[in-house]
Amino acid sequence: MTPDSPSDAREPDPAALQAARDAVDALPRRKEQLLPALLAAQHAIGWLPRAAVEHVHRHTRVPVSEVYATATAYSELRLEPPVPGQWHVCTGVACDLAGAPALLAAAPDRTARVDCQFLCALAPVVVDEHERLHGRMTPDDLRARMEAPAASKPARRSRAKR
Ligand code: FES
């Protein structure tokens, strides 16, 4: 494998992986800690590579199949590295009816679909590249926010409304 091969992009930074292990190890070794452990690992790395999932499995003693089942059940958890600059448009029922297709069409190169973000009252909802939620979006709002300088600043996941 060469440093430029595509599979290298899926390997987590060793320091981030160690930070994820430390964060998971700080939690009690109980199966009830599965979701907090997955969230802690993802917060440290930005997504959940196989090594992080397996560490969560070992720490919580939850079968690895169940860890993957949980990781795939929550739209907040990612088994793939995030695409820089990509925003996600919720295509749950409420958002779909409130204009999600128009949002996807407004920036087709920078948007992808995501399942319900549980902020249906503010539909249509988008998740920015830093995992901040934005509600009641219009195509013009979306394009403006994508180009705004604040769009490039990292921030923790938060629920922001217009
Ligand atoms: S359908 Fe979009 S937040 Fe629920």
For residue 124, give the ligand 1 atom closest to its CA: 2
- Separation CA 134–CA 155 (nearest Å): 13
Which residue minimizes the CA distance to atom 1 of ligand 1?
Answer: 92
**pLDDT computed for residue 148 by the predictor:** 86
Measured CA to CA, the distance from residue 37 to residue 102 in angstroms comes to 36
Mean pLDDT value of segment 1-14: 58
pLDDT tens-digit map of 51-75: 999 999 999 999 999 999 999 999 8
- CA angle in degrees (0–180, nearest 5) for 7-10-13: 120
Mutate which of 125, 127, 132, 133 for ligand 1? The one with the most ligand atoms within 8 Å of its CB, which is 125
Indicate the top mutation candidate among 90, 111, 115, 137 to test ligand 1's pocket, ranked by most ligand atoms within 8 A of CB: 90
pLDDT tens digits along 125-159: 999 988 899 999 999 999 999 998 765 454 445 44
4 or 47: whose pLDDT is higher? 47
Return the percentage of the chain with pLDDT > 70, whole number: 86
Ligand 1 lining (C-beta closer than 6 Å): 90, 92-95, 116-120, 123, 125
**Which of these CATH numbers, 3.30.565, 3.30.70, 3.40.30, 2.60.40, describes 87-152?**
3.40.30
Å from CA of 16 to ligand 1 middle = 31
Q: Which atom of ligand 1 is nearest to the CA of 92?
A: 1
Q: Residues 71-86: what's their mean pLDDT?
A: 90
Contact 59, 67 (CB under 8 A): no
Tokens of 119: 């902020």
Boundaries of every domain in the chain = 14-73, 87-152
